[in-house]
Amino acid sequence: MAPRNAAQAYIRVGLETGVIAASPHGLVLMLFDGALCAVSDADVHLLHGRVADKGEAISRAISIINQGLRASLDQTQGGKIAGYLLELYDYMSRRLLFASLKNDRTALREVTQLLGELRSSWAAIGSTVNKTVVSAVASRREAA
């Protein structure tokens, strides 16, 4: 097996293991990470003139946003925030399409910034939820 194929197989196994072990919150973080990675790849490919690779990376980012992040929203429970996120995900997808058509690195950076801010907020929510769950479990143990 070639070293590149071995490395890709190792990454795939690690990713699959991470997905199996992840909480729903962790899965959304993985989607943000995947989208950020795809946009970063697109930027590098654009910078080096690799048009086909840029297009594939942007398509991957759009798929993650539309089929992952957008699909994970619960509009009945999420209320207005879910609606705002749907609009934001739609906007990011359109900006990525624009970046692909016009070779616009500014649009890629804009989407990177938006995804990064959303990811940071989502991660902060997770740490708060985890602390609350740990505190609740500890309180129950002490009461028992």
pLDDT tens digits, 62-83: 999 999 999 999 888 889 999 9
Do 115 and 122 meet the contact criterion of CB atoms below 8 Å apart?
A: no
Number of residues written out for the chain: 144
**Predicted TM-score of the model (pTM):** 0.76
In this prediction, residue 52 carries a pLDDT of: 96
Sequence ranges of the domains in the chain: 27-143
Confidence of residue 85 (pLDDT cuts 50, 70, 90): very high
Cβ–Cβ < 8 Å for 42, 108:
yes
Question: Is 40:140 a contact under the CB 8 Å cutoff?
Answer: no
pLDDT of residue 24: 79
In CATH, the number for domain 27-143 is: 1.20.120.340
Mean pLDDT across the stretch 84-109?
97
Token reading at 31: 């989607």
The mean pLDDT of 6-20, rounded to a whole number, is: 45
Please report which confidence band the pLDDT of residue 21 belongs to, taking 50, 70 and 90 as the band edges: very low
pLDDT at 75: 87
- 42: three-class secondary structure by DSSP: helix
Tell which residue, 119, 100, 103, has the closest CA to residue 47: 103
- Average of per-residue pLDDT values in the chain: 83
Q: pLDDT value at position 118?
A: 97
The pLDDT of residue 128 is: 64
